[in-house]
A and B are shown apart, each in its own frame.
Chain A
Amino acid sequence: MVDNSSSNYQHLFKIVLVGDAGVGKTHLLHRYVKGKLPTNKPSTIGVEFATKNVELRNNQGVVKAQIWDTAGQERYKAITSAHYRRAVGALVVYDVTKEDTFRNAQRWMEEMRASAEPECVICLVGNQVDRVEINPVLRQVEYETAKRFADANNMKFEETSALTNKAVTDVFDNLLHYIYEVKLAQEGANGIDQLEAESKKYKKLTEFTSPDEERKKSGCC
């Protein structure tokens, strides 16, 4: 288990969660970060922020994921979209039992592409799959349909359930790995230095080392 609060990490990735209201963005995030379902979560107003430190495979260091959960209703787009900037990863979430939330996923994706970093990795997520596992009639978006749509638009794809925890950790962890790989490939073998430098730059911008930690580092006593 990686210490979540520590500032001991090598990479800092900003990730955004978008999708229609009620598809389960907040539940997915809570499940991932806290390891359990939220007990009492009302709708998201504006944006909610969370972080998690994750160890990359093959000793490639620790990533701090800064995750922004956004409000789903259209009316909030003006404030939530300000957060697409600088995002290097995004989950576009829909509800497998609601066709319209899937149709809107296209718009969410386009908006994401328009304002996020050009190399932003997007993963399409069909949530609430537990419900169709119990009652297949509820399914309104076929797996294949969504997969084809994701492939055609250069997105990863996964079906999840925040309720049963199906594929939730994978979706987030994989996204972080993809982002890392994209950065690696894009910047070449020595580009990773640059990536780290940039991460540090961003880290410096957003992180402030408390005097306490400063002291620990210098190891005075």
Chain B
Amino acid sequence: MNTEDDNRIPQIAQHQESPRQPEDVPYSDQESQASTKDKESTSDELNQAAHKLEEIKRSMFERRVKKFDRVLQSKVVDLDQLRSLAWSGVPPHQAGYRCKTWKLLLDYLPNDQEILAETLSRKREEYTDMVEHYFGGISYDNQQDLFKKREMSPYEVKSIKQIRIDVYRTQPEVKLFSTQPIQIMMIRILFTWTMRHPASGYVQGINDLAAPLILVYLTEFLQNVNQDNIYEIAEKDIEEIIPDQLVKIEADVFWCLSKLIDDVQDNYTDMQPGVHKIINKMKKLIEQADPEVLKYLDSLDINFMDFAYRWVSCYLTREFDIYQIVRLWDTYLSEEDGFSQFHCYVVSALFLQFSKNLKEMSFQDALLYLQNLPTQSWQDDDLNILMAKSFEMKELYHNNNRLYQ
């Protein structure tokens, strides 16, 4: 961690009292003291400190895992508690935690365990009925035969073409998405969604929203998936999951994707008013925080639409690697209006984090920089800091608004 990052810790601490303050923000005082040790320290002392830090981190992690255990296993899950726990990231590598958390926070799973099983099987059945209607059955074998079973309208043909092209290009870095069963699954999910949402129809970028859901819901059934091997999940791994189980995963992804998009439907309708709204608010936030950079971009004739459009409409799935996206979405799902409101603070904070580098740049360099942010290599800490800054910005904005009213 560099010193600049450390500077932010006191700021984060200021929000301890806020009602929606996430529990266990992963920067403790101990941590900051350990990493700002005097330069004169002997390497021995440093080693000890590092060791201690590791220990603290481990015990914090274990505490969090226990808390998750308790919350997720109670008869009626306390969603507020779950939100504040999951806000700073669901503990990775605990099969099923994230999967269950996301489904609960998306309001797909009922929080009452008693009606859970019945609700799930009803939803899954409903989905397979739809698939039966559009595809005449469900299988994971042959992509070419997917649509052979009935006559298609021109609108359907057009949608299928577009969906196919995009599914083949989804998360190309992650092997999982180029396996046949997953591509078939994704085509069916997107097509079914399209048929049920005529107001928007399929829009490029919706495939990017399905990908993290598929990954998370699938990894519940895969052994030992972690940050390093997540890119290597291959067809043979998926073949170990029985088709019945794949169908359930598919249904769950479909419903959760639908829920997610329901909140941000107007990102995808004609003229995309939702995206424009977020970008306009983003500009306002930036004007408050750094009016100079806004003026500078204006003088270069660079429009926010030229770079922020993708950030906003794809929910940063194009800017981060999939592991970080999943982590980011933990927070989005834990916020009350994560995708429709909090996202705006995140893209603004992201911009402000990099905008100091813009001030000397030419039109060309600035635009290339903004369109290719160096965020692909981000680690958990980077993302945690961005979340903290976004949270801070949200608080500030709310307070300011209260002030002006």
Contact = CB atoms under 8 A, between A and B. Distances in A.
B368 to A, nearest CB: 6
Interface in A171-221: 205-211
B306 A208 contact: no
A199 to B, nearest CB: 14
Interface string B299-330: 01101011001100110001000000000000
Interface stretch (A35-43, A119-127, A133-141, A156-164): A35-43
Nearest to A212: B360
Given A43-B165, A76-B204, A208 B305 contact: no
Interface residues of A, number: 31
Contacts of A46: 305-306, 309-310, 313
A10 interface: no
Nearest to A206: B363
Interface string B247-282: 000000000000000000000101110000000000
A73 interface: yes
Contact of A7 (B268, B271, B272, B362): B362
Contact of A42 (B171, B301, B367): B171
B224 interface: no
B208 interface: yes
B371 interface: yes
A45 B169 contact: no
A140 B361 CA distance: 46
Contacts of A78: 271-272
Contacts of A51: 364, 368
B170 interface: yes
Contacts of B364: 49, 51, 66, 206-207
Contacts of B171: 42
B318 A210 contact: no
Interface string A20-34: 011000000000000
Interface in A56-81: 66, 71-73, 75-76, 78-79
Q: How large is the interface on B (under 10, 10 to 19, 20 to 34, 35 or more residues)?
A: 35 or more
Interface in B159-210: 162, 165-166, 169-173, 201, 203-205, 207-208
Q: Which has the most chain B C-beta neighbours within 10 Å: A43, A79, A210?
A: A43
A1 B18 CA distance: 58
B329 to A, nearest CB: 18
A209 B204 contact: no
A79 B305 contact: yes
Given A21-B204, A40-B172, A82 B305 contact: yes
Contacts of A72: 204
A24 to B, nearest CB: 11
Contacts of B173: 40
Interface string B355-370: 0000011111001100
Contacts of A50: 368
A40 to B, nearest CB: 4
5 contacts: A21-B166, A42-B172, A43-B166, A207-B362, A211-B360
Give 10 closest A-B pairs by Cβ, nearest first.
A22-B165, A40-B172, A46-B309, A206-B363, A45-B310, A208-B362, A73-B204, A42-B169, A43-B204, A49-B367
Given A48-B371, A51-B368, A82-B303, 17 more contacts: A39-B172, A40-B172, A41-B169, A42-B170, A42-B208, A42-B318, A43-B169, A45-B205, A49-B367, A66-B364, A73-B203, A75-B201, A75-B203, A75-B270, A206-B301, A208-B300, A208-B361
